[in-house]
Structure 1
Amino acid sequence: MVTEVQWSELQRDPKEVAKLADQGAVRVRRRDGAPLLLVREDNAQAMSEGSVAAARALRNIFVHLPPDVAAESLLDEFPWVDVLPLSARARFVTDFIRAFTASAELGRWSVLAQTIQEWRSTAAIYADPILAQQLSEPIDDDFGPVPEPVGE
């Protein structure tokens, strides 16, 4: 359970917000930025250790499954996997497990989110046979010089 407080409550009564954090996570809402999540260090450490253990267990389970069975097991969560060719499904499973494990080890779930987004985009291409064919043909044209990257 996540309790929500405003930034002003944290400033006005930090001890009370700390008591809330002893009971569970506290989302601190701010007007000028993304909310902050306040958790006790021991709880964060336990979550991290638990996610790493889950990632390693999942990796070990998938290692013992044939790639088609592993891909089939992910279909409920990622129905677009069904659009991928069989060889791509096996690569998705491998990439998914690697990204899941890396995310758990690093505590950065954006790694897994990016991998899923990239494979979802790949599935969207395969879902359009004309686009898939166009993108798999060799490029014979010269599209000119590549411009320098621009800063953000």
Structure 2
Amino acid sequence: MALSAPQVNFSDLSNKPVDTVRKLQESPSRSVRVHRRGDDEDLVLVTASRAAEVREVVSTTTALFVALMQHSAEVRDLVTDVMPTAFPWVRFLPREDVRAFVVELVEILEAANSLGNPAPVVQLITEWRHTAEIHADPELLAILRKDGEDLGEVPAPEANDA
């Protein structure tokens, strides 16, 4: 069960900083969700020690997963077999694409972990999910598989001098 963070309004962060810090320190998750008005995305204020702990857990988990995947073909096959549990949408992918996703995921997890940046992992998962969406739609898949005329290289857009 995930620990929920207390919430404060963005204005409380500047108008009542002592109260906000107290809520942060008393929070079991050592974090506070800072609600922003309108379409602005909420923020999460977290202690430096909690951020370091989360980074260590992610790094350790990634290193363990990469080591397991590099250990043997049986492990890679097992991970491929259990992928639908973690990512149900992979059921729409052909088996060879699921394997390709697993290999690419391990490579990107390792590289992203070395940077301390999860964005490439999120991007990869998003791209493969979109591929699964195409496979899930027979009409779209048929259109994309249809042979078409190659119209050649697409020219670069012209710069707007206005």
| Same fold (TM > 0.5) | yes
Task: List aligned pairs for 1:111-150, cutoff 5 A.
Answer: 111-128=120-137, 131-132=140-141, 134-136=143-145, 139-142=148-151, 145-146=154-155, 148=157
Asked if the contact 1:68–1:89 (Cα under 8 Å) also holds between the matched residues in 2, the reply is no
Per the normalisation by structure 2, the TM-score is 0.76
Q: Percent of pairs identical after alignment?
A: 26
Aligned partner of 2:36 in structure 1 is: 30
- In structure 1, which of residues 86, 98, 101 is the aligned counterpart of residue 107 of structure 2? 98
Q: Residue 14 of structure 1: CA displacement?
A: 0.7
Task: Say whether 1:10 aligns with 2:20.
Answer: no
1:125–1:7 CA distance, 2 compared to 1 (3 A): closer
- In structure 2, which of residues 79, 92, 117 is the aligned counterpart of residue 70 of structure 1? 79
Asked if the contact 1:81–1:123 (Cα under 8 Å) also holds between the matched residues in 2, the reply is yes
Task: Say whether 1:39 aligns with 2:46.
Answer: yes
In structure 1, the gaps of 5 or more residues are: none
Secondary structure of the corresponding residue to residue 76 of structure 1: helix
In structure 2, the gaps of 5 or more residues are: none
Secondary structure of the corresponding residue to residue 50 of structure 1: helix
Counterpart of 1:116 in structure 2: which amino acid? I
Q: Residue 8 of structure 1: CA displacement?
A: 1.9
Per the normalisation by structure 1, the TM-score is 0.80
Q: Distance in 2 between matches of 1:58 and 1:27?
A: 30
